[in-house]
């Protein structure tokens, strides 16, 4: 997902967003550096990058705890946020980047952005499918509950009638 969160309300929220982005980038960058080090046969360097990358994830989670408080989050809300982020990526961000890469003649970047557009669209669709299934599940559950409540009410009123 993209790093978009709730509307920016304060400089601290903005700073948390930047810090979250920085820690997240450090995590991925260190994983990448670890891979390079391992390929070069330098296991010690690979190991320190991997250990540190794991810690950066915890730092990023710390920022997310404040940006997306657990009390405000449900699985459905998380899916909505993810769909929002992925949709922004494939409808706005990557198309704009792609356009500018074409203007600069950066053909590798154009090809990579094309792949990312397809990936982000796929992610948004997969999230939406899960969200829709969950909505149907909830609707079905609500119907079952309603049937139970109706049976219960019917049984109660019958009892009342025989008294």
Binding region for Fe ion (CB under 5 A): 23, 56, 59, 120, 123
Distances (CA, A) of 81 to 15, 127, 131: 20, 10, 11
Q: Are 143 and 112 in contact (CB under 8 A)?
A: no
**Nearer Cβ to Fe ion, position 28 or 141?**
28
- At closest approach, how far in Å is the CB of 34 from Fe ion? 16
- At closest approach, how far in Å is the CB of 90 from Fe ion? 9
**Nearer Cβ to Fe ion, position 29 or 151?**
29
Does the CA dihedral 100-105-106-112 come out positive or negative? positive
- At closest approach, how far in Å is the CB of 44 from Fe ion? 21
- At closest approach, how far in Å is the CB of 65 from Fe ion? 15
**Nearer Cβ to Fe ion, position 1 or 13?**
1
Q: Are 51 and 35 in contact (CB under 8 A)?
A: no
CA–CA gap between residue 97 and residue 42 (Å, rounded): 35
Q: Are 88 and 4 in contact (CB under 8 A)?
A: yes
**Nearer Cβ to Fe ion, position 46 or 93?**
93
**Nearer Cβ to Fe ion, position 37 or 53?**
53
CB atoms within 10 A of CB 146: 10
Does the CA dihedral 78-79-81-85 come out positive or negative? positive
- At closest approach, how far in Å is the CB of 86 from Fe ion? 5
The torsion angles phi and psi of 18, rounded to 5 degrees, stand at -65, -45
């Amino acid at each position: 997902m993209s790093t978009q969160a709730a509307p920016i309300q304060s400089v601290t929220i903005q700073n948390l967003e930047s810090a979250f982005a920085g820690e997240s980038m450090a995590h991925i960058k260190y994983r990448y550096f670890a891979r390079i080090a391992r390929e070069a046969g330098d296991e010690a360097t690979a190991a320190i990058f991997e250990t540190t990358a794991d810690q950066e994830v915890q730092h990023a989670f710390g920022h997310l705890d404040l940006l997306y408080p657990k009390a405000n989050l449900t699985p459905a809300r998380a899916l909505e946020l993810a769909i929002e982020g992925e949709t922004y990526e494939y409808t706005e961000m990557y198309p704009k980047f792609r356009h500018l890469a074409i203007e600069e003649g950066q053909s590798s970047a154009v090809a990579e952005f094309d792949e990312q557009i397809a990936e982000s669209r796929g992610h948004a669709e997969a999230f939406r499918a899960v969200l829709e299934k969950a909505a149907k599940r909830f609707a079905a559950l609500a119907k079952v509950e309603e049937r139970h409540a109706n049976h219960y009410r019917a049984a109660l009123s019958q009892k009342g009638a025989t008294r």
